[in-house]
Structure 1
Amino acid sequence: MSSEEHQHMGAHDHGAMDHSAMGHGPVSWRMAASATLHCLTGCAIGEVLGMVIGTALGWGNVATIVLAVVLAFFFGYALTMRGVLRAGVGFKQAVKVALAADTLSIAVMEVVDNAIMVAVPGAMEAGVNSLLFWGALAFALGVAFVVTWPINRWMIGRGLGHAVVHAYH
């Protein structure tokens, strides 16, 4: 659907579109969990890759975290853009949709999981061959999911976050 068609539909007829995703009616925890899992996937890819690279290269905590955050945003946005581009949306508009859909969710996840990684004694210094490193990272990502889930539910209920992506599915 083109953006013109979507704008034309406006308040008239959303066809088979889920009204709860459009900010009309209650948003289910299941829908929010799906959006959060999507976000977690991109974050986890970037976070794990950044942590592994930074740790393997012996970088300090700050440099490793910066790399992990940059990669988390990159992969989070890329996953959203992939689906939007497949719907026939131009690159520039797909970037805008990804920014609107994922920025807050990724930011919350990154603050939470990196704060936990820093807070767990020795996790950042443990190295990629350590159970402490992987256990702390898995725990951090799990907590980030739990913290971000109600935020995504709130945003979708107001037509924000992943609700903007539903127009392109």
Structure 2
Amino acid sequence: MSQHDHHDHHDHDGHDLGGLNAMALSATLHCLTGCAIGEIAGLMIGTAVGLSTGWTIALAVSLAFLFGYTLSTFPLVKAGLGVGAALAVVFAADTLSIATMELVDNAVMAVIPGAMDAGLANWVFWVSMMIALTAAFLAAYPVNRYLLARGKGHALTHGYHGDSGPVTGARRYIPTLSSTTLAAAIVAFMLGGLVVSVAAETDTDEPEQSNHALGRG
């Protein structure tokens, strides 16, 4: 092999590696967004209706799968695939990734003292959720990369993301969400919850401090 051929081969491998890493990152962020939405929604609903911790976790996990599948289904349907066919592809592509995330996420939440019982108005919950989702992302990324490298996982969906002609009808209204948008949405959502919870605790503490200052404590 000539020096020129060697450099071409090296550059090609580097390009493929970068593309694989980028695809794995995008796939993981899609799953993470769906999982985060489902987890928070499940906890909110479970708390509102007074479900036990076990049932609340079950609801949160179910919704995490639902939203994770939904986010991956949108681009396939927009590309022209039927809903049933799109769901079949997504089930095969995303199930292992979402399952990995949910297993790690809930395991981390379980080992952090007070995280499961903190409630949405407690900063402990939001900090714990940030830690848990970060751990879930780090666990799912190599899973997605491994599957993509072997033509599985999200590789099953990429063939439908090409140029399918002009998007018409109701498909025009299906949002196209980039990895950057998804990452920003996750960060903003989690930070918003943290800020609100800290503000709520501060408001609760201020009357108590006033009462102590007035000798009413």
Fold agreement, TM-score > 0.5: yes
- Give the alignment of 1:17-36 within 5 angstroms: 26=17, 28-36=20-28
Amino acid at match of 2:157: V
| 1:75 maps to 2:77 | no
Post-superposition offset of 1:56: 4.0
Paired-residue identity, %: 53
Other-structure match for 1:12: none
**TM-score normalized by the length of structure 1:** 0.81
Q: How many residues align?
A: 146
Out of 92, 110, 128, which is 2:84 matched to?
92
Over aligned residue pairs, what C-alpha RMSD do you find?
Answer: 1.6
- Aligned equivalents of 1:139 and 1:48: distance in 2? 14
CA deviation string 1:8-36 (max 9, x = no partner): xxxxxxxxxxxx9xxxx656322211110
Out of 123, 127, 131, which is 1:131 matched to?
123
- Aligned equivalents of 1:135 and 1:56: distance in 2? 21
- Give the alignment of 1:12-51 within 5 angstroms: 26=17, 28-51=20-43
Amino acid at match of 2:20: S
Greater share of residues in helix: 2
Identify unmatched segments of 5+ residues in structure 2.
1-12, 162-217
When residues 94 and 103 of structure 1 are mapped into structure 2, their CA distance, relative to the original with a 3 A threshold, is same
Post-superposition offset of 1:137: 0.9
Post-superposition offset of 1:92: 1.4
**TM-score normalized by the length of structure 2:** 0.64
Amino acid at match of 1:150: P
CA deviation string 1:77-98 (max 9, x = no partner): 1111111111111121111011
Q: Are the aligned partners of 1:55 and 1:125 in contact in 2 as well (CA < 8 Å)?
A: no
RCO (CA 8 Å, sep 6+): is it higher in 1 or 2?
1
Out of 135, 143, 164, which is 2:156 matched to?
164
Runs of 4+ in 1 over 3 A off after TM superposition: 55-58
Amino acid at match of 1:153: R
- Aligned equivalents of 1:30 and 1:168: distance in 2? 18
